Amino acid sequence: MKSILIIGMGLFGRKLAADLSRRGDDVMIVDRDEDVINELSPHFTGAYIGDCTNEDVLRSLGVSNFDAVVVTVGSDFQSSLEITALVKELGAPRVIAKADRDIQAKFLLRNGADEVIYPDRDMAQKLSLKLHARNIFDYVDLSQGYGIFEIAVPKSWVGRSLRESDVRRKYQINVLSIRDGSELLPVPDPDFVFTEDDHVIVMGQEDVVLKLSNKG
């Protein structure tokens, strides 16, 4: 279990806080809007009403005691920048900040963010890939054109084993697991035989996986 401080209870901040809490992490939420905190406080370990551009507010929260601080302030980028810098100065071990554009990310990283996330961009990228590709059901971007993809089993694999399909040599991708209906089969046996209803979770280059999925 980790302790996470989330500053800013917009839609993304709320969703992140709820998911972390559901996974068993110790989550404290902060927002300057009293009505928002009153609504959400029963669901989290701690909830605080305050303006985090105020250093005294951050000191009172003890930001250095959290495993990570996530700054998810919405449209007010100046506040996000100030909060990120203050949180880092006060000793937060890991600071993650939300950005909408690359120029924002550049300033956030210069001002103390250890990591910058782009929720809107990442969701748009994920959705565009799912809409573009014929048989891709889920996608996680890694970096430099590589990702993890859930795809329908290509027709040429049906009735053949993982070993016979020779996936790694032919396509330079790795099969991580296989979804058989609602059941996930991690680290599949080389003698596993594919059926037409299976989904395959693979890791590889995006262009290669796209071509493969469109053959399905």
Q: What is the pLDDT of residue 87?
A: 97
Report pLDDT digits (tens) over 5-32: 999 999 999 999 999 999 899 999 999 9
Predicted pLDDT of residue 18: 94
Residue-level pLDDT at 105: 93
Structure tokens, 145: 């054109």
The model's confidence at residue 146, banded by pLDDT at 50, 70 and 90, is: confident
When the candidates are 3.30.70.920, 3.30.1280.10, 3.30.70.3040, 3.30.70.1450, the CATH number that belongs to 122-214 is 3.30.70.1450
Instruction: Collapse the DSSP code of 204 into the 3-class scheme (helix H, G, I; strand E, B; otherwise coil) and give the result.
Output: strand
Domain range annotation of the chain: 3-117, 122-214
pLDDT band (50, 70, 90) for residue 215: low
* 93: Cβ contacts below 8 Å, ≥ 6 apart: 64, 66, 67, 68
CA 183 to chain centroid: 23
Averaged pLDDT for residues 162-177: 90
Tokens, residue 184: 């996930």
Task: Report the CATH architecture of 3-117.
Answer: 3-Layer(aba) Sandwich (3.40)
Question: What's the average model confidence in pLDDT over 153-167?
Answer: 91
Residue 184 has pLDDT above 90, yes or no: no
For residue range 79-132, list pLDDT tens digits in order: 999 999 999 999 999 999 999 888 999 999 999 999 999 888 777 777 777 666
SS3 state of residue 118? coil
Residue 135 has pLDDT above 90, yes or no: no
**pLDDT computed for residue 181 by the predictor:** 75
* pLDDT of 212 above 90: no
Token pair 């990442």: residue: 122
Cα–Cα distance for residue pair 98/162, rounded to 1 Å = 41
- Give pTM, 2 decimals: 0.70
Q: What is the pLDDT of residues 43-76, one digit of tens each?
A: 998 999 999 999 999 999 999 999 999 999 977 8
